[in-house]
Structure 1
Amino acid sequence: MTAYVLVHGAWHGGWCWRRTANLLRRAGHEVYAPTLTGLGERAHLVGQEIGLRTHVDDLLGLLRYEDLRDVVLVGHSYAGLVVREAADRMPERVSRITMVDAWAGRDGQALEDLAPRFFRAWIEGATVDGLIPPAPAGTVGVTEPEQVAWLEARLTPQPRRTFSEPTRLTGAVEDIACRAVLCSPDGPMPFADLAARNGWESTALPVGHDAMVIAPHALADILLRDARPA
C-alpha cells in the first residue's frame, strides 16, 4: 500500500482531488488531500500574511501528526513549490514526488520569478488587498458546463504572498525521485521546460491544466504507476 498526499494548486482546495482520491483508495491505497490555509473550507483564515512558508508548514504538520512515511507527494501547479520545500525539509518521509503541471524553483526563487511576463502582469493588476481573485474555469482548461459550475462555485482568492515568497531549499529534495505529469505541454506556462531543466521523467497527459477535474481516471492511472502493491 502507498500513502499519497495530494496537494492542490492556487485558488483550489483539497476538494478538487475528490474523484482522483477515490480512485486511488479503491485501488487499496491511503490518500490524504489537505486544504492549505486560507483556501477552500479554510477560506475563513485567509489573510495577507499567508505565504508559501505557511503552506509548507501545513504540509509538514500533516506528515508529522499523521506519522506518514514513504509518502508519494503530489503537487498540482503552485503546490509544486509547496511539496518540494516540504520534501526538502523532511526527505526521510518522502519516497517520490509527482509534479502535475507544477512550478519548481531553485532556492531563493518565487513563483513570480518563474512565471512569464503576461502572468506576472495579470497578478499585479488583479490583486486587491493582498488577495488574487480566481480566474474563469476556462483558463485552467475546464470547459464542460457542469464542471465549470462545480469548479467556479468552490474557487477562493489566493494570498498574493504565496506567489512572491521565495522557496527555501537545502538540496535534499534533489535526491528524491520525481515524475512530471504535463497536462498542458503546449500551453503558455513553462511546466515542460521546468521538468526538462530538472531532468525529471515526464509523462504527457494533454487534457488541460486541471487534470484532476477533467480527467481523474487518466491521472489516477499515472499516479498508480508509482504505487507499491496494495
Structure 2
Amino acid sequence: MATFVLVPGAWLGAWAWEDTARELRERGHTVLATALTGLGERAGQATPETGLDTHVDDIVTFVEEHDLRDVTLVAHSYAAAPATGAAGRLGTRLARVVYVDSAPFAEGMRMLDLMSEAEAEILREQVAAEGDGWRLPMPAIDALGQVGDLDGLTEDRRELMRSRATPQPFRTYEQPLTAPVGPAPEVDRVLIACNEFKALLDAGVPMLAYLGRPPWRRVDLATGHWPMLSAPAELAKALDTAVS
C-alpha cells in the first residue's frame, strides 16, 4: 500500500480531496491532504509575501513533520509548481510524483509564463481592483471554464467551489521556481491527463512530447480539469493504478 500526499491547485484547500481520499483509504492506502499557506483551511495565514517559495516549503515541511517515507506526491494544476520544487528537496522520502492535469515546472519558470502577456495583465488588473493588490480571487465559474475544462462538474460541485474557494496569493503566480527542482532520476513519474490536456498530448505539442516517453507513465481520465470534484472515484482508481 502507498502513502499519498495530496496537494490542491489554485484557490482550493485540502477539502477538495475529501472524496478521493476516502476512496483511496478504502483501498488500503495511507492518505494525507494538505492545504497550502493562504488557501483553504489556511486562508487566514495569507500575506502579501506568500509566494511560490512559501508553498514549496509547505510541502517539504508537511512531509518531514509527519516523518513520511516512500511518498507518492500528487499535485493538481497550480500545485505542480511547488510540488516540483519540493521534489527537489525531499530526497529519498519521495517514491513517486503524480501530476494531475499538470506537468513539472523548470527552474526559473512562473505560473504567469503559462499565459500570454495580455492574459497576465488581465489578472494583474483583477488583483489590483478586487484583491487589495496582492490576492487573485477565483473567477466566476463560467469564466473559470476558459481556464480549465468544466466537464463533469455538476451544479452542486460548482457551488462547492464557489462557496469554499479562497483568493490565491498572487505572488505564487509571479515568483519563479528556484533550484533545486526535481524529481530525482530514480523517482517514478506519472501523468493523469483529463480531457483538454489529453487533447494537447494527443495533438503532439512539441513542448509536452517528453510526457509520452519513459520514464513517464500516463493515465487518461474522461473528465474536466477538477477530477477530484467531478470524478473522485475515477481519480482514486487512477491513483491506485499508478502505485500498483
Q: Compute the TM-score of the two structures, normalised by the length of structure 2.
A: 0.85
User: 2:189 is matched with which residue?
Assistant: 178
- d(CA) in 1 for partners of 2:44, 2:200: 30
Aligned residue identity for 1:216: P
- 2:170 pairs with 140, 150, 160, which one? 160
User: 2:93 is matched with which residue?
Assistant: 93
Identity within the alignment, %: 33
Deviating more after overlay: 200-209 vs 28-37: 200-209
Q: Is the 8 A contact 2:84 2:181 kept in 1?
A: no
1:220 aligns with 2:233: no
- 1:149 pairs with 133, 136, 159, which one? 159
- d(CA) in 1 for partners of 2:114, 2:24: 31
Displacement of 1:164 in angstroms is 1.1
- 1:209 pairs with 190, 207, 225, which one? 225
Q: Is the 8 A contact 1:88 1:170 kept in 2?
A: yes
Runs (4+) of structure 1 exceeding 4 A deviation are 186-190, 192-195
* Correspondence 1:55-70 to 2 at 5 A: 55-70=55-70
Q: Unaligned regions of 5+ residues in structure 2, if any?
A: none
Displacement of 1:196 in angstroms is 2.8
- 1:137 pairs with 129, 141, 145, which one? 141
For the aligned residue pairs, the C-alpha RMSD in angstroms reads 2.4
- d(CA) in 2 for partners of 1:119, 1:14: 28
Corresponding pairs, count: 228
Displacement of 1:174 in angstroms is 4.5
Q: Deviations over 1:129-163 (max 9, x none)?
A: 11101012342416421111111100010011101
User: 1:38 is matched with which residue?
Assistant: 38
Q: Unaligned regions of 5+ residues in structure 1, if any?
A: none
Q: Compute the TM-score of the two structures, normalised by the length of structure 1.
A: 0.90
Deviating more after overlay: 40-49 vs 195-204: 195-204
Q: Deviations over 1:30-71 (max 9, x none)?
A: 001011011112111111100011011111111111000100
Q: Deviations over 1:96-123 (max 9, x none)?
A: 1100112432111111123345542332
